[in-house]
Structure 1
Amino acid sequence: MPWTKRNYPPSLKNFEPRVRGKAVEIANALLEEGYEAGRAIAIATSQAKEWNENHPEQEAASGTAVNLRVVPHEGSWAIKRQGSRQPEAVAPTKEAAENKAKQIASDENICVIVHRRDGTVEKSFNYR
């Protein structure tokens, strides 16, 4: 039976809700892959802590998301504000988009999250 936000292993009770939620998500995925429950919890706990360090929560004073994301876009790479549909900039290569995003993020003291072509997160940069 998968765990939920309200029904989770006792070992996760002292985690912040955001990290606990991610750990539950990871543990459930590992259970589906056939991992034993104890091993799934241990792996999920470690990965959720790492995820939390690499993906800090951001709050914008204006109510808009402030993280920049480098994502694939129509055969090129785009820089988008988290939560925005429109690219802030488009570059022909991932490297060019990443460099531009890092420059913007550094100027604005925000984070850059770089995605792979399949949409998963590859790396992040925190300029806060």
Structure 2
Amino acid sequence: SMMPTISGIPGYIAPIAIVTSGYALFQTANNTAVMSDIRPDQRGVISGLLNLSRNLGLITGASAMGAVFAFASVTIDIATARPEAVAAGMRITFAVAAVLIVVALAMAVGSRALAARPSLPGDIS
């Protein structure tokens, strides 16, 4: 999203290819980590819930980021939008996604720190 518009199609495809491969690597590791802690008789149910949550997240995220892009590109009809408007929309959409990633990472680190904290006598679990 930070590539200049002069980069053209390769400037769009290269970052998307990197993001896609990172997503694929994450999904494989995440599925393995989740499924390795599950009893064999529960794996079908957990796999279904994992796929359902992933698909709901993808649908919700695509809709939300589409709305961010539409708002950021400041155009009524994207088919007739100027390249600068599309580039601005992409930059802002990717910036919002980056902020959401940082928030999610902070939540994950925070929850892991809370889980690792030793419980005190009298704490309710």
Q: As a proportion of its length, which structure holds more helix?
A: 2
TM-score norm. by structure 1 comes to 0.30
TM-score norm. by structure 2 comes to 0.31
